[in-house]
Chain A
C-alpha cells in the first residue's frame, strides 16, 4: 500500500542549529502539505504545494523556516536557526489534487534542546 514517507522519525537538535526534514509523497499526488503539531494540539498548516509551486505559506515563519519541492515530487522543510519553541511533530501529507483526501506520513518528532 502506498504511503507518505518521512525522515527522520526523530530528531534532537540544539538551539540555533539547522535542521531539515524530508517527505516523499504518494506517487502521483500533486498536492503536498507540511503541518506542525504541537503536543496536545491539532496540526496547523505551515505550507502547501501544488506540484512545485507554493499555494499557501501564510503561516510559515519565513525568517527561519523554508520549504521546497523543486521537481514537484519530494519536499524538504528546513529550520535555521532552530528555537526551543520549534519542538513539535512535523507532519507531511499529500493528496491527488486539491480538495481530495489527504494522506499523512508518520511525522518527524523534533526536540530542540
Chain B
C-alpha cells in the first residue's frame, strides 16, 4: 500500500514571496504519477501540477514547480511570487500505474495562507 505524508499542517507566506510545501511518500512501485492539488475554501479541488516518475526533469507550471527526488521519495512544491489567490489547502497525491485501479492516495494536506 502507498502512503503520502505532508508534515506541514499550516504555512504562511507574504505576497510575492516564495514558499515550499513538503511531501514524502512510500511505495514499492516503480511506475507512478505524483500530483499537487489545490482546494480553495468552498471550491473544488483543482490540479496544480503533475510529475511522471519516469521523468527526471522536474515539472513546472508557471509559478509552480516541483522538486522530485525519486530515490528519497520526496516531492515538494515551490510556489514563486505568491498571490492572495494561492490561499488554499494543498494536497500531495500519488497514483500508481496499474491497469484500471488507478486511485489517488492523498496526504493530509497543508493549509497555505498568503498575507499582504
CB within 8 Å of B: which residues of A? 3-4, 31, 33, 35, 40-45, 48, 50, 55-56, 91, 93, 98-99, 101-107
Find A101's partner among B50, B99, B106, B109 (CB 8 Å cutoff). Answer: B50
A-B pair number, CB within 8 angstroms: 58
Q: Which 10 A-B pairs have the closest CB atoms?
A: A42-B106, A98-B102, A104-B45, A45-B103, A55-B100, A106-B44, A104-B44, A99-B102, A98-B100, A56-B101
A55: chain B residues within 8 A (beta carbon): 100-101
- B interface residues, Cβ below 8 angstroms from A: 4, 33, 37, 43-47, 50, 91, 93, 95, 97, 99-109
Do residues A99 and B44 form an inter-chain contact, with CB atoms below 8 A?
no
- Please give me the residue from chain A that is nearest to B43 by CB atom: A106
> Which A residue sits closest to B97, measured CB to CB?
A99
A20, B93: Cα distance in complex, Å:
27
For the complex with contacts A42-B4, A42-B108, 15 further pairs of A-B residues with Cβ separation under 8 Å are: A3-B44, A41-B108, A42-B91, A42-B107, A48-B100, A50-B100, A55-B100, A98-B99, A98-B100, A98-B102, A99-B95, A101-B50, A102-B47, A104-B45, A104-B46
